[in-house]
A and B are shown apart, each in its own frame.
Chain A
């Protein structure tokens, strides 16, 4: 199975900050990498697919980059609605494993 490792596991930041979350795959996954946001008690919501493409309706402050084994999700200017947990998921091969998550909290 492909292991996905996110860092950091948690992050404190303020409204307006720029934050970056990284995701590393245990082997090359090309750009088969999707990012999800999850709020407490809710189902995840896709933000970015294929490493760098916006899902429809996602604010432009979210961006993704990377290929191969190393990927990043960047939020350019944090808004109050962005405090949540973020997961990466590889869909290069089954099982489509998720990272362990990054919890973004208000400083």
Chain B
């Protein structure tokens, strides 16, 4: 079945970087864009950015510009989100999600989430 499987939980110190992976299966990885969304504990959803896996083109929310990089490895159908210069406010669950076909950028398949904890 179509699914996105993310890497496991991470604990990082302030100032460090984290790289979360998102492995696609059950569909052709290069056909659908991947988005990244995060959610701090007890808070709402925050959109971070997107990537076209075929071309590698990306777009990021201004809030994360300069700190986030989304990449992919098409040979293994995996997307990555790297966030640098971590601070305590980056403690959150990070989700990857597939954009379905069509014009409306619907996030129709989600990963299970990866908890990133930033603590000294």
Q: Is the Cβ of A43 less than 8 Å from the Cβ of B61? A: no
Q: Using known A-B contacts A1-B62, A96-B35, determine if residue A44 contacts B107 with beta carbons closer than 8 Å.
A: yes
Partner of A98, one of B45, B102, B110, B113: B45
Partner of A44, one of B50, B102, B110: B110
Residue B89, interface by CB 8 Å: no
Q: Using known A-B contacts A43-B95, A43-B113, A44-B110, determine if residue A34 contacts B45 with beta carbons closer than 8 Å.
A: no
Q: B96 to chain A: closest CB distance in Å?
A: 10
Could you count the A-B residue pairs with CB atoms below 8 Å apart for me: how many are there?
A: 65
Q: Is the Cβ of A34 less than 8 Å from the Cβ of B47? A: no
Q: B47 to chain A: closest CB distance in Å?
A: 5
Whose C-beta in chain B lies nearest to the C-beta of A41?
Answer: B113
B32-51 contact mask (Cβ, 8 Å, vs A): 1 or 0:
00010100000011110010
Residue A36, interface by CB 8 Å: yes
Q: Is the Cβ of B106 less than 8 Å from the Cβ of A34? A: yes
Chain B residues with CB under 8 Å of A34's CB are: 104-107
Q: Using known A-B contacts A1-B62, A43-B111, A43-B112, determine if residue A98 contacts B47 with beta carbons closer than 8 Å.
A: yes
Q: Is the Cβ of A94 less than 8 Å from the Cβ of B61? A: yes
Q: A14 to chain B: closest CB distance in Å?
A: 25
Interface size, chain B (Cβ < 8 Å)? 24
Residue B59, interface by CB 8 Å: yes
Cα distance A100–B112 in the bound complex, in angstroms: 21
A1-28 contact mask (Cβ, 8 Å, vs B): 1 or 0:
1000000000000000000000000000
Q: Is the Cβ of A96 less than 8 Å from the Cβ of B47? A: yes
Cα distance A50–B37 in the bound complex, in angstroms: 20
Chain A residues with CB under 8 Å of B37's CB are: 44, 98
Cα distance A98–B48 in the bound complex, in angstroms: 11
A76-90 contact mask (Cβ, 8 Å, vs B): 1 or 0:
000000000001010
Partner of B44, one of A45, A50, A87, A96: A87
User: Chain B residues in contact with chain A, CB under 8 A?
Assistant: 35, 37, 44-47, 50, 59, 61-63, 95, 97, 102-108, 110-113
